[in-house]
Amino acid sequence: MNTLGSVLLWVTDHGYQILLVGLVAVFCVREPRSRRKIVRVLLVLGALVVGCIFLAAAYGKMKPPVGFAWSWPSSVRISLAWFAMQVESYRLLPPAASSAVAHFLPFFELFLGLWLISSIGLRFSSLVASFTLCGFMIAIALAYHRGLKIDCGCGIGPPEEVGPAALLRDGLKFLLPALLVAIGAFWIHRPPDAAPLPESAPATPEAV
């Protein structure tokens, strides 16, 4: 399981760089068909990257605390109870609602990550991912605005306090790939522009 977590974290940390390089390649290609082929490849990679972001977040929230071994459901219950305390520290929800969100969110992230990786309905899964990440960033911004000194609780990587650094990381590494995938998924579903008729083509005779 530790190996899985390391792989997810690596993709989460470096996936956005791969997508940015691919985006530059898209703008460098002029031929429409070649551009669409590159976008299709990037969408597969982008879905994998964004999916890994949510899988890493779910893994980080459900993995057992230090000194505990994986067990179902004992260690997961302990981890979710700890995550519920982090959700409550944002002071956005009452304790009961914070506990409900804490027990629902990791499984939702797990589902969304697998949905993204499958590339089924990518337009919709990428939109859900983008809105979800926007919601996380709004919560972080509100906590920072209130002067709270708390861990962001995202579950990805080492603990990080809410603030500009957490917002910059989430925006660049998490939200940007999700938005790129959403834009690309909608763009690729547009019908390609009809090729213009050659200048030498004979004109169609008018109907009598």
Instruction: Give residue-wise pLDDT tens across range 114-170.
Output: 999 999 999 999 999 999 999 999 999 999 999 999 998 888 888 889 999 999 999
pLDDT of residue 1 exceeding 90, the answer is no
The total of other beta-carbon atoms located within 10 Å of residue 192's CB is: 10
Q: Which two tokens stand for residue 93?
A: 């929800």
Q: What are the residue boundaries of the structural domains of the chain, listed by start?
A: 2-188
pLDDT of residue 70 exceeding 90, the answer is no
Instruction: Give residue-wise pLDDT tens across range 11-67.
Output: 999 999 999 999 999 989 889 889 999 999 999 999 999 999 999 999 999 988 777
Chain position carrying tokens 């990080």: 160
| CB burial of residue 30 (10 Å; 0-12, 13-18, 19+) | exposed
| 3-class SS letters over 135-187 | HHHHHHHHHHHCCCCCECCCCCCCCCECCHHHHHHHHHHHHHHHHHHHHHHHH
Give the mean pLDDT of 177-204: 72
CA distances to 103, 158, 163 from 151, in Å: 18, 10, 10
pLDDT of residue 197 exceeding 60, the answer is no
